[in-house]
């Protein structure tokens, strides 16, 4: 076989063949100013254009059409999965119309846009949300029914898009939903991981096992591959300085970033934003020379290493890893996103100084911080903008949100690693740093400690780059995610920077959650009851959540309370059914449902909960059967994943499962206390758990949980909150009244001192907290399986007790006592539950995204007609 190779084209991205601006068309106008039709006969084109399927019969036609064409199947061989796929494709067709119009409107009107850079988006399922936001859920239900399927069964066939670990990624997903719903021009940028967060399996001994999550195994109906949107991304190589602060970066490895777009439909509007995910591809399929020389392995090596970049999501939450591949992911994603943003900006034909008027780039946590030196590189090296002007542009374009104060989550990258992988960026970081520390010296002459504290480079072996500091100095504004957290930032991590820049640079935007998914979709019964009670259309309160306050006047009404209780009971039964079909156990739905679901982490203190359960178990065992009958039966649910390398967190899972095994089997107590660990927690499992809780637990050591967002979801669904005075719990308490929350534990200002005492003046646990000591001793003694297994976990509490379990245990037990008492008076309880839901208006992600839009990004809504 012979072929002619154009050597000039090797390694070059192929030119796009069609004439468009990628996000819509720029129409030409004739002399009179009238828009010209780009080509062909306008009327023929227009006749061919598709319109939305809004009635049942066009919806069914579209579904059948997809069965026949896209899937090449027939009614004879169509299972639920196929029916789901065809239906999802038909919903996608509808969304696409709005998506196209939205992108066209953005291109034409050229508003300032915001770009939300987040390395994780925990989207969950899309189909249900799509038909809800399109306002076509009823029509789809009926159409599917006519075709002989059931909507809920089809919804169940969709796999979660689990491109995130926990709160950070789910928040990003809620914000996209709200940006479309509030008609704000926002795009998300992230990575298209081939494998999302691992699937969690539980071994018979209670150990967590991890399996890959090949979520793209089947067709993904909701993404649009954009093979025509590609950028070349460089790694390694050499950077040679030239003049005027510039350099030439060459050599190394080049890979391609290919775009996949995910449509984000707004609720009750045509506005449909975009989430652009990058996939890595080798620049050349494989090395032809090695292939011809018979070295096939070598030939595919380059291709494998390029594809590895976007193959897996790192399964760590609130911890950093320092691995080269992770740094590669971060650079690959930020470089591709910036190239895309800059290309779009350049098509406007404005000077670079205008970039901040057209683009606000949100750095969500430190993961995209490399965007700062990358934009400097583009402006200085490629566009020849003078350094100082470039820095002015950069510091007016970026915004930075910090999501944690945990030291183990604050990213630092080793200088030698950066130097190897991104030599030009390290030079730029050093240059930024020099100018910065010189200005610090000017403001605080001779304060060398301060210079060392504020430098972007941390001394040590090796030296490290402090990414949070780079994000702070390279951004226009910085914020935390709840009042307490933002205040902690200002007084700890950012203290020196507040003194340098002034307080106005450091704000707060309390997190929020989308009420579409987290109330209407997951709790249709409650949503219907609210609509019927408020006597306004659902679309009104779902977009203006403060309207829930209208429920307050019914909080005491016994008839309303009864309806409220029926909804909760139905949700509990729905959850029990799920548990029965997945775990094969029957659950007492008359008992109080108590839920703690979140990533397994020592600071979140699932330990406090399981130790509390053991304590309760011993107490139940110690009383007479008669006395037991007077207690409040409780079913406790846990769910959550542990990072695969997080040994202590995995031991906690094992302990929970083995404690559950003993307690659930004890004939004396099993009517009064049951414990379940639901494996493989996900957005979809949360959608079942959240509406079913009577209480939920958010019990982190004070000052450690930046915000928490599941607390908001549970409260929005009328579940009461047991919590520490931490993160967003505090603001929830302020909104709904402390009398409706079960708060306990030490407050943030006490924590530092307590830790000091633990280190320098330790008191034995037997003395400090006898009840907890008893629990730990029983675990050691083998009450819940081989005691030795748990020693490393128990020792974290016995020695040092960094997360202060010994300090908070007694008040935790007391708080749960109050919960039991309160639950006995159902009418009062229901009033609390209704009040809680009614006062959750503040915690809508619509409010949060509007805060960002107005106070940070300066972008405005643009309604797509
Ligand atoms: C998490 C915090 C949560 C917070 C979410 C969303 C990280 C780094 N941070 O408390 O731990 O709710 O971010 O802001 O994942």
Is residue 367 scored above 90 in pLDDT? Answer: yes
* 556-567 tens-digit pLDDT: 999 999 999 999
Q: How far is the CA of 388 from the centre of ligand 1 (A)?
A: 34
Q: Which atom of ligand 1 is nearest to the CA of 485?
A: 10
Q: Is 492 helix (H, G, I), strand (E, B) or coil?
A: coil
Q: Which strand (E) or helix (H) includes residue 432?
A: helix 423-443
Is residue 17 scored above 50 in pLDDT? Answer: no
Is residue 21 scored above 60 in pLDDT? Answer: no
Q: Which atom of ligand 1 is nearest to the CA of 705?
A: 10
* 611-643 tens-digit pLDDT: 999 999 999 999 999 999 999 999 999 999 999
Could you tell me which of 730, 736, 738 has the C-alpha nearest to residue 548? 736
User: Catalytic annotation on 604?
Assistant: yes
Q: Which atom of ligand 1 is nearest to the CA of 409?
A: 8
Residue 857 has what pLDDT? Answer: 98
Q: Is 477 helix (H, G, I), strand (E, B) or coil?
A: strand
Residue 10 has what pLDDT? Answer: 52
- What is d(CA 388, CA 394) in angstroms, rounded to the nearest whole number? 10
Phi/psi of residue 402, nearest 5 degrees: -95, 140
- What is d(CA 321, CA 409) in angstroms, rounded to the nearest whole number? 9
Is residue 302 scored above 90 in pLDDT? Answer: no
Per-residue confidence band for 6, with pLDDT thresholds at 50, 70 and 90: low
* 586-619 tens-digit pLDDT: 999 999 999 999 999 999 999 999 999 999 999 9
Q: Which atom of ligand 1 is nearest to the CA of 401?
A: 14
* 768-786 tens-digit pLDDT: 999 999 999 999 999 999 9
Residue closest via CA to ligand 1's atom 12 equals 708
Q: Is 235 helix (H, G, I), strand (E, B) or coil?
A: strand
Q: How many residues does the chain have?
A: 865
Is residue 227 scored above 70 in pLDDT? Answer: yes
Contact 541, 530 (CB under 8 A): yes
User: Catalytic annotation on 599?
Assistant: yes
Contact 813, 819 (CB under 8 A): no
Residue 33 has what pLDDT? Answer: 84
Pocket test for ligand 1, best of 119, 121, 166, 726 (most atoms within 8 A of CB): 166
**Joined tokens for residue 89:** 């494709």
Q: Which atom of ligand 1 is nearest to the CA of 170?
A: 6
- What is d(CA 198, CA 44) in angstroms, rounded to the nearest whole number? 50
- What is d(CA 544, CA 524) in angstroms, rounded to the nearest whole number? 18
**Joined tokens for residue 371:** 């965007």
Q: How far is the CA of 708 from the centre of ligand 1 (A)?
A: 6
Q: Give residue 446's region: left, alpha or beta (phi > 0; psi -120 to 50).
A: left
Q: How far is the CA of 707 from the centre of ligand 1 (A)?
A: 6
How distant, in Å, are the alpha carbons of 188, 310, 479, 730, 813 from that of 510? 20, 31, 9, 11, 29
- What is d(CA 67, CA 76) in angstroms, rounded to the nearest whole number? 11
Q: Is 585 helix (H, G, I), strand (E, B) or coil?
A: coil
DSSP state letters, 258-316: EEEEEEEEPTTSS-EEEEEEEEEEESSSS-HHHHHTT-HHHHHHHHHHHHHTTTB----
Q: How far is the CA of 727 from the centre of ligand 1 (A)?
A: 10
Task: List, as own/partner pairs, every contact residues 455-458 make where C-beta atoms lie below 8 angstroms and the sequence separation is at least 24, other chains included.
Answer: 456/429, 456/432, 457/415, 457/429, 457/430, 457/433, 458/412
* 307-318 tens-digit pLDDT: 999 999 999 999
- Where do the DSSP E strands lie in 148-285? 161-163, 186-191, 199-202, 208-211, 223-235, 238-241, 247-250, 253-265, 272-282
Is residue 721 scored above 60 in pLDDT? Answer: yes
Per-residue confidence band for 3, with pLDDT thresholds at 50, 70 and 90: very low
DSSP state letters, 332-396: HHHHHHHHHHHHHHHTT---GGGHHHHEEEEEESSTTTTHHHHHHHIIIIIS---HHHHHHHHHH
- What is d(CA 72, CA 66) in angstroms, rounded to the nearest whole number? 8
Contact 522, 687 (CB under 8 A): yes
Q: Is the CB of 674 under 6 A from ligand 1?
A: no
Residue 24 has what pLDDT? Answer: 52
Catalytic residue among 125, 425, 477, 598: 598
Is residue 50 scored above 90 in pLDDT? Answer: no
Is residue 28 scored above 80 in pLDDT? Answer: no
Catalytic residue among 505, 604, 634, 641: 604
Q: Is the CB of 726 under 6 A from ligand 1?
A: no
Residue 139 has what pLDDT? Answer: 97
Distance between alpha carbon 830 and the CA centroid of its chain, in Å? 31
Is residue 105 scored above 50 in pLDDT? Answer: yes
Contact 205, 227 (CB under 8 A): no
Query: Mean of the pLDDT values across residues 360-372?
Result: 98
Percent of the chain scoring above 70 in pLDDT? 96
Look up tokens 């021009």; give the residue.
185
Report cis status (omega within 30 of 0) of the bond before 462.
yes
Residue 633 has what pLDDT? Answer: 97
Q: Is 850 helix (H, G, I), strand (E, B) or coil?
A: helix
- What is d(CA 19, CA 458) in angstroms, rounded to the nearest whole number? 49
Phi/psi of residue 241, nearest 5 degrees: -70, 140
Q: Is the CB of 718 under 6 A from ligand 1?
A: no
Contact 802, 796 (CB under 8 A): yes
* 656-665 tens-digit pLDDT: 999 999 999 9
Phi/psi of residue 312, nearest 5 degrees: -130, 145
- What is d(CA 615, CA 636) in angstroms, rounded to the nearest whole number? 14
Is residue 93 scored above 70 in pLDDT? Answer: yes
Is residue 25 scored above 80 in pLDDT? Answer: no
User: Catalytic annotation on 538?
Assistant: no
Phi/psi of residue 464, nearest 5 degrees: -130, 150
SS (HEC) of 79-124: CHHHHHHHHHHHHHHHHHHHHHHHHHHHHHHCCCEEEEECCCEEEE
Q: Is the CB of 403 under 6 A from ligand 1?
A: yes
Residue 1 has what pLDDT? Answer: 36
Residue 285 has what pLDDT? Answer: 66
Neighbours of 671 (CB within 10 A): 15
Residue 651 has what pLDDT? Answer: 98
Pocket test for ligand 1, best of 406, 481, 851 (most atoms within 8 A of CB): 481
- What is d(CA 335, CA 340) in angstroms, rounded to the nearest whole number? 9
Residue 219 has what pLDDT? Answer: 82
Q: Which atom of ligand 1 is nearest to the CA of 166?
A: 15
- What is d(CA 220, CA 223) in angstroms, rounded to the nearest whole number? 6
Q: How far is the CA of 729 from the centre of ligand 1 (A)?
A: 13
Could you tell me which of 89, 123, 102 has the C-alpha nearest to residue 187? 102
Query: Mean of the pLDDT values across residues 16-44?
Result: 72
Q: How far is the CA of 822 from the centre of ligand 1 (A)?
A: 31
Residue 15 has what pLDDT? Answer: 47
Contact 791, 754 (CB under 8 A): no
Distance between alpha carbon 78 and the CA centroid of its chain, in Å? 34
Contact 171, 191 (CB under 8 A): no
- What is d(CA 359, CA 117) in angstroms, rounded to the nearest whole number? 12
Q: Which strand (E) or helix (H) includes residue 573?
A: helix 558-583
Is residue 823 scored above 50 in pLDDT? Answer: yes
Q: Is the CB of 652 under 6 A from ligand 1?
A: no
- For residue 225, the cross-strand partners are 260
Q: How far is the CA of 627 from the centre of ligand 1 (A)?
A: 42
Could you tell me which of 819, 317, 692 has the C-alpha nearest to residue 676? 692
- For residue 257, the cross-strand partners are 231, 280
**Joined tokens for residue 697:** 């637990």
User: Catalytic annotation on 709?
Assistant: yes
Contact 192, 260 (CB under 8 A): yes
- What is d(CA 29, CA 27) in angstroms, rounded to the nearest whole number? 7
Look up tokens 């679901």; give the residue.
597
Catalytic residue among 170, 516, 713, 847: 713
Choose between 714 and 10: higher pLDDT: 714
User: Catalytic annotation on 713?
Assistant: yes
pLDDT averaged over the chain? 94
Could you tell me which of 146, 132, 44 has the C-alpha nearest to residue 515? 132
Q: Is the CB of 481 under 6 A from ligand 1?
A: yes
Could you tell me which of 653, 637, 663 has the C-alpha nearest to residue 602? 653
Q: Is 679 helix (H, G, I), strand (E, B) or coil?
A: coil
Residue 662 has what pLDDT? Answer: 97
**Joined tokens for residue 183:** 């008609």
Q: How far is the CA of 702 from the centre of ligand 1 (A)?
A: 15
Pocket test for ligand 1, best of 120, 707, 730 (most atoms within 8 A of CB): 707
Is residue 522 scored above 50 in pLDDT? Answer: yes
Residue 121 has what pLDDT? Answer: 98
Q: How far is the CA of 480 from the centre of ligand 1 (A)?
A: 10
Q: Is the CB of 707 under 6 A from ligand 1?
A: yes
């Amino acid at each position: 076989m012979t072929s002619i190779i154009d050597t000039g084209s090797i390694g070059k991205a192929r030119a796009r063949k069609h004439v468009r601006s990628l996000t819509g068309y720029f129409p030409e106008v004739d002399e009179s100013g009238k828009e010209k039709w780009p080509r062909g006969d306008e009327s023929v084109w227009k006749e061919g254009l598709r319109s939305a399927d809004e009635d049942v019969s066009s919806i069914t036609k579209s579904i059948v059409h997809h069965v026949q064409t896209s899937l090449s199947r027939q009614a004879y061989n169509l299972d639920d999965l196929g029916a789901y796929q065809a239906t999802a494709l038909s919903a996608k067709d509808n969304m696409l119309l709005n998506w196209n119009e939205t992108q066209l409107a953005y291109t034409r009107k050229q508003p300032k846009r915001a770009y939300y850079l987040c390395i994780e988006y925990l989207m969950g399922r899309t189909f249900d949300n799509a038909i809800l936001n399109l306002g076509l859920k009823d029509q789809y239900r009926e159409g599917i029914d006519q075709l002989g399927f059931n909507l809920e069964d089809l919804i169940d066939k969709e796999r979660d898009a689990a491109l995130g670990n926990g709160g950070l990624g789910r928040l990003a997903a809620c914000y996209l939903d709200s940006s479309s719903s509030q008609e704000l021009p926002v795009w998300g940028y992230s990575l298209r991981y081939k494998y999302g967060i691992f699937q969690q399996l539980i071994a018979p001994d209670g150990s967590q096992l991890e399996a890959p999550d090949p979520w793209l195994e089947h067709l993904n109906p909701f993404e649009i591959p954009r093979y025509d949107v590609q950028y070349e991304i460089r790694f390694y190589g050499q950077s040679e300085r030239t003049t005027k602060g510039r350099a030439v970066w060459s050599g190394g490895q080049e890979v391609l970033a290919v775009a996949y777009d995910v449509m984000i439909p707004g609720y009750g509007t045509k506005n449909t934003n975009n989430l652009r995910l990058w996939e890595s591809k080798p620049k050349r399929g494989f090395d032809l020379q090695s292939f011809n020389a018979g070295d096939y392995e070598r030939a595919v090596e380059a291709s494998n290493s390029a594809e590895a970049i976007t193959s897996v999501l790192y399964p760590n939450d609130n911890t950093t890893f320092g691995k080269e591949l992770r740094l590669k992911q971060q650079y690959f994603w930020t470089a591709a996103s910036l190239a895309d943003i800059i290309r779009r900006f350049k098509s406007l034909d404005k000077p670079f100084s205008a970039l901040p008027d057209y683009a606000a780039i949100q750095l969500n946590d430190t993961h995209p911080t490399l965007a700062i030196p990358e934009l400097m590189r583009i402006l200085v090296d490629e566009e020849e903008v003078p350094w100082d002007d470039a820095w002015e542009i950069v510091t007016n374009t970026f915004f930075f949100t910090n999501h944690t104060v945990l030291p183990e989550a604050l990213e630092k990258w080793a200088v030698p690693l950066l130097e190897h992988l991104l030599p030009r960026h390290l030079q730029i970081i050093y240059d930024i740093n020099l100018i910065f520390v010189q200005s610090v010296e000017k403001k605080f002459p001779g304060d060398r400690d301060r210079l060392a504290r504020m430098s972007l480079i941390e001394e040590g072996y090796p030296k490290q780059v402090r990414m949070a500091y780079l994000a702070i100095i390279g951004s226009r504004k910085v914020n935390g995610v709840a009042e307490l957290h933002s205040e902690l930032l200002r007084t700890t991590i950012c203290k020196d920077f507040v003194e340098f820049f002034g307080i106005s640079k450091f704000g707060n935007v309390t997190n929020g959650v989308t009420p579409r998914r987290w109330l209407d979709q997951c709790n249709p019964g409650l949503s219907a009851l609210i609509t019927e009670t408020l006597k306004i259309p659902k679309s009104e309160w779902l977009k203006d959540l403060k309207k829930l306050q209208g429920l307050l006047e019914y909080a005491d009404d016994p008839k309303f309370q009864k309806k409220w209780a029926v909804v909760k009971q139905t949700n509990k039964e729905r959850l029990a059914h799920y548990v029965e079909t997945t775990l094969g156990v029957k659950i007492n739905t008359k008992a109080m449902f108590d839920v703690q679901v979140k990533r397994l982490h020592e600071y979140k203190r699932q330990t406090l909960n399981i130790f509390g359960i053991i304590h309760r178990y011993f107490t139940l065992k110690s009383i007479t059967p008669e006395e037991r009958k007077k207690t409040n039966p409780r079913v406790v649910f846990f769910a959550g994943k542990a990072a695969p390398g997080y040994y202590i967190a995995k031991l906690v899972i094992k302990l929970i499962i083995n404690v559950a095994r003993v307690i659930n089997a004890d004939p004396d107590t099993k009517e009064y206390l049951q414990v379940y660990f639901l494996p493989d927690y996900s957005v979809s499992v949360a959608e079942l758990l959240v509406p079913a809780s009577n209480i939920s637990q958010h019990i982190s050591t004070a000052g450690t949980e930046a915000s928490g967002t599941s607390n908001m979801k549970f409260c929005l669904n009328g579940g009461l909150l047991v919590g520490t005075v931490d993160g967003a719990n505090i603001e929830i308490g302020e909104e709904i009244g402390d009398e409706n929350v079960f708060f306990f534990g030490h407050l943030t200002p006490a924590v530092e001192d307590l830790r000091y005492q633990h280190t320098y003046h330790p008191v034995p646990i037997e003395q400090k907290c006898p009840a907890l000591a008893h629990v730990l001793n029983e675990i050691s003694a083998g009450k819940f399986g081989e005691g030795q297994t748990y020693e490393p976990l128990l020792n974290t509490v016995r020695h040092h007790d960094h997360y202060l379990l010994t300090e908070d245990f007694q008040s935790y037990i007391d708080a749960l006592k109050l919960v039991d008492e309160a639950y006995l008076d159902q009418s009062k309880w229901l009033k609390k539950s209704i009040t809680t839901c009614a006062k959750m208006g503040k915690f809508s992600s619509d409010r949060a995204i509007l805060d960002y839009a107005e106070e940070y990004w300066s972008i405005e809504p643009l309604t797509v007609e």
